[in-house]
A and B are shown apart, each in its own frame.
Chain A
Amino acid sequence: MIPNPAPATQTVEPILSVNNIEVIYDHVILVLKGVSLTVPRGGITAILGANGAGKTTTLKAISNLLHAERGEVTKGSIVFDGEEVQALSSNLLVRRGCIQVMEGRHCFGHLSVEDNLMTGAFTRKDGAAAIKADLDLVYDYFPRLKVRRTSQAGYTSGGEQQMTAIGRALMSRPKMILLDEPSMGLAPQLVEEIFEIVKKLNDEQGVSFLLAEQNTNVALRYAKYGYILESGRVVLDGEAAALRENDDVKEFYLGVGGEGRKSFRDVKHYKRRKRWLS
């Protein structure tokens, strides 16, 4: 394990800290082997890595959705907003202000876009007027949703569905959103649009974000801090700007080789692991 030094800028208590968690699926499959990370209040932090590295599992461990897939956190602790949360149901966690937007959007296909948004307000107790005000706020951020608000969500485009999913999460008045693969299946232009909105929400509403992304390039441009996951371990972390300049990150995730184009034959297959451990 490489210890994760706390980011230098962080002076206040982080909104989320994950301490050395281990996740096991079906009692036998060890997926996360001690992952630690922190998200500062008001920060955007990215978890990067290839398929199967454990990004989604990390997010689901935090939001407590693992149970539905027979996974459980067996070691470590998760502290959200000063409180240990691994024993809380997702319902209680959403009440405390931490909500996940799942990979692949997961809109309620047969519900209208507006009904989808309103389901996000399920846990709220502050009255219809406040909820209505937030609905208008969501429509301000996503004008396209206002146009499509009576269509069945299943028939809207991928980008609109992603917007619906993020808007739905916003309706719960979260302090923090766990955003899983927002770029999945979207055109590059739309990806930029979604990330711009994420940044705007972060600036204007003070929502902290923890996002899992395969699109390292985009993620590192919008995030302030990044963790790179490989086979259930954090192998590298640092300020986003520093990660962008890191040779390994460039080579493995950004597709820029250090010494120009290389033949695949030249890359020894143990090189990757050796580099990370050095």
Chain B
Amino acid sequence: MSYLHSIFVAPFADMADAPDFFLQVVWEGLVSGVLYALIALGFVLIYKSSRIFNFAQGIMVVFAALTLVGLHENGVPALLAVPLTLLVMFVLAVGIERAVLRPLVNQPDIILFMATIGITLFLIGLGETIFGGANKVMITEQLGIPTGSWVVEPFGGFVSVEQKDVTAVVGAVLLVIALLVFLNKSKMGRAIRALGDDHQAALSVGISLSTIWVLVWFISGIIALATGIVWGARAGVSFALEVIALKALPVLMLGGLESVTGAIVGGLAIGILEKVFEIYWGQPLLGGNTEAWFAYMLALLVLLVRPQGLFGEKIIERV
């Protein structure tokens, strides 16, 4: 009885007792959720337009962040290093299209998936060769991101909000809005969506696969850089960052592989839920560290009920 009480009653009582602390937990969760969502967004874009499950998205985040920091270490001013890094990501996109995607066109999905594992290994090697394997500190201040923190006092308690987290959330929201506008209103965005719907038909109306692929990988590169900056500001830049890309998998299962909305909602949901679960259930009942597996369990449950994910595209077919 007391066990049931500690599962079903006590956590909620705790939340109600200290709403300021609860808000703090939700906020922390939200910030990591934004990061998961950004990574998942990179996956979704590439998956939508080429049906490639891009295992390399995580390492692209690391690589972009490393390039940015590395350039700055070598004397490039921070605000110049950002466009230069974007240029590097563009060259990378062109290189991947030429060297990997084009020769493998029409191969089974699994081969392309293996190829992205290859890209991952290549980027790890390249990154270590150029920038070394040591951890680096993200150049947060040099980029003009405020590092102080605000204290808000709801319900008579206090919640501390780091300014760089606020910047991250605002930045991510702007990025997502820009991306949605691009996808829905521009000619290239329309072509990306068309390619996701029907490859053959897209080819038949003259949509150029290589142009779109370069574009999509480049956009993923931009997203990777944004993710890298934000995550690097919280946890430093190291190859361990790559592991957070795995968190994008449950996000994708929850949200659906093809849905931009799904990636965002799934990312935020997993970020918040895993934090709340950890604090109110994990630590008191399960000895903590539930964040390592909670997202995967949640994804598994979702898969049992809705295999296409919460926002997966309905297959429209007419015979």
Q: Pick from A63, A115, A158: contact of B204, CB below 8 A.
A: A63
A122/B207 in contact, CB under 8 A: yes
Using known A-B contacts A119-B191, A155-B316, A161-B318, determine if residue A110 contacts B206 with beta carbons closer than 8 Å. no
Q: Mark B200-230, 1 if CB is under 8 A from A, else 0.
A: 1111111110000000000000000000000
A158/B316 in contact, CB under 8 A: no
In Å, the complex CA distance between A115 and B201 comes to 14
In Å, the complex CA distance between A181 and B313 comes to 29
In Å, the complex CA distance between A123 and B194 comes to 14
Which of A42-50, A86-94, A231-239 forms part of the interface with chain B?
A86-94
CB B122 to nearest CB in A, in angstroms, measures 27
In the complex, which residues 97-148 of chain A have their Cβ closer than 8 Å to any Cβ of chain B? 99-102, 106-111, 115-116, 118-123
CB A227 to nearest CB in B, in angstroms, measures 22
CB A173 to nearest CB in B, in angstroms, measures 11
Chain B, interface size: which category? Answer: 20 to 34
A99/B199 in contact, CB under 8 A: no
Most buried by A among B105, B193, B200, B317: B200
Q: How many residues of A contact B (CB 8 A)?
A: 40
B200/A65 in contact, CB under 8 A: yes
CB B32 to nearest CB in A, in angstroms, measures 30
Whether, in the assembled complex, B2 has its beta carbon less than 8 Å from a beta carbon of chain A, the answer is no
CB A232 to nearest CB in B, in angstroms, measures 22
In Å, the complex CA distance between A155 and B314 comes to 12
Using known A-B contacts A108-B198, A110-B197, A155-B316, determine if residue A90 contacts B191 with beta carbons closer than 8 Å. no
A108/B197 in contact, CB under 8 A: yes
CB A161 to nearest CB in B, in angstroms, measures 7
Residues in A with CB closer than 8 Å to B206 are 90-91, 93-95, 99, 122-123, 172
Whether, in the assembled complex, B190 has its beta carbon less than 8 Å from a beta carbon of chain A, the answer is yes
Residues in B with CB closer than 8 Å to A107 are 198, 201
A99/B194 in contact, CB under 8 A: no
B198/A109 in contact, CB under 8 A: yes
In Å, the complex CA distance between A185 and B318 comes to 11
Using known A-B contacts A118-B187, A154-B316, A161-B318, determine if residue A111 contacts B208 with beta carbons closer than 8 Å. no
In Å, the complex CA distance between A93 and B194 comes to 19
Whether, in the assembled complex, A168 has its beta carbon less than 8 Å from a beta carbon of chain B, the answer is yes
CB A58 to nearest CB in B, in angstroms, measures 15
Residues in A with CB closer than 8 Å to B191 are 119, 122
In Å, the complex CA distance between A158 and B319 comes to 8
CB A118 to nearest CB in B, in angstroms, measures 6
In the complex, which residues 275-319 of chain B have their Cβ closer than 8 Å to any Cβ of chain A? 313, 316-319
In the complex, which residues 169-201 of chain B have their Cβ closer than 8 Å to any Cβ of chain A? 187, 190-191, 193-194, 196-201
In the complex, which residues 156-186 of chain A have their Cβ closer than 8 Å to any Cβ of chain B? 157-158, 161, 165, 168-169, 172, 185
Whether, in the assembled complex, A4 has its beta carbon less than 8 Å from a beta carbon of chain B, the answer is no
In Å, the complex CA distance between A113 and B205 comes to 15
B202/A119 in contact, CB under 8 A: yes
A119/B205 in contact, CB under 8 A: yes
Q: What residues of chain B have their CB less than 8 Å away from a CB belonging to chain A?
A: 105-106, 187, 190-191, 193-194, 196-208, 313, 316-319
The 7 A-B residue pairs with the shortest CB-CB distance in the complex, in nearest-first order: A94-B206, A154-B316, A106-B201, A108-B197, A91-B208, A123-B206, A109-B316
With A91-B206, A115-B193 already in contact, 16 other A-B pairs whose C-beta atoms are closer than 8 Å: A90-B203, A90-B206, A93-B206, A94-B206, A99-B205, A101-B204, A102-B204, A106-B200, A107-B198, A110-B193, A119-B194, A119-B202, A122-B191, A155-B316, A165-B201, A172-B205
